[in-house]
Amino acid sequence: SSETELFHIICQNAITFDGIKMAWIGLIDESRQHIKPVTRYGEGIDYIETAGIPLDLNNPLGNEPTAIAVRSDHCYWSQDFGQDSNLTAWHSRAAQFGWKSAGALPLHRNGTVIGTLTLYSNKLKTFDDYLQNLLIEIGVDIDYALNNFQQETRRKLAEATLREGEEQLRSITNNAGALIFLKDLDG
């Protein structure tokens, strides 16, 4: 019924896949140019601090699967986190939590990247073709749900605006001392 509920359910269910130990969803904070965690579930959730992941490519911490997926608007799969040269700044932190592989999927609202679903595993090469395709399908479903939540919000706003206009018109009509009807020249 809401993004918050959807995100929690996705992260909770994601760790049921063999090897997946932690899942989180982060949304882009445009003002601070980073990805802020909104939902985390599983073991090692302290890996992602509340400060978020910087999007700046020049910041070494901006080379994390999450930021790479957001910047490229493509899924990022690291089958061997500790040997992935793109993730050097994160090697020791990943080792501390036992992450051996990771995957990050960009999330969209109306075709624009708004965040990611990122998963970590304690096994090497967790994200085989089958799991990658399944997660990509889940990402498409999440995008669809996010679009529907936004459309529903717009619909409710339009209804509220219409109700307000009707109430104003009703108030004017009920409080008017007289109503004038005009007839055009054709009858």
Return the closest-CA partner of residue 140 out of 173, 114, 108.
108
pLDDT category at 155 given cuts 50, 70, 90 is: low
Collapsed DSSP state (helix, strand, coil) of residue 33: coil
Contact 145, 1 (CB under 8 A): no
pLDDT per residue as tens digits for the range 11-55 = 999 999 888 999 999 999 988 889 999 999 999 988 887 667 999
pLDDT category at 143 given cuts 50, 70, 90 is: confident
- Measured on CA atoms in the order 62, 66, 72, 76, is the torsion positive or negative? positive
CA distances from 111 to 1, 11, 36, 115 (A): 21, 22, 20, 12
Contact 109, 97 (CB under 8 A): no
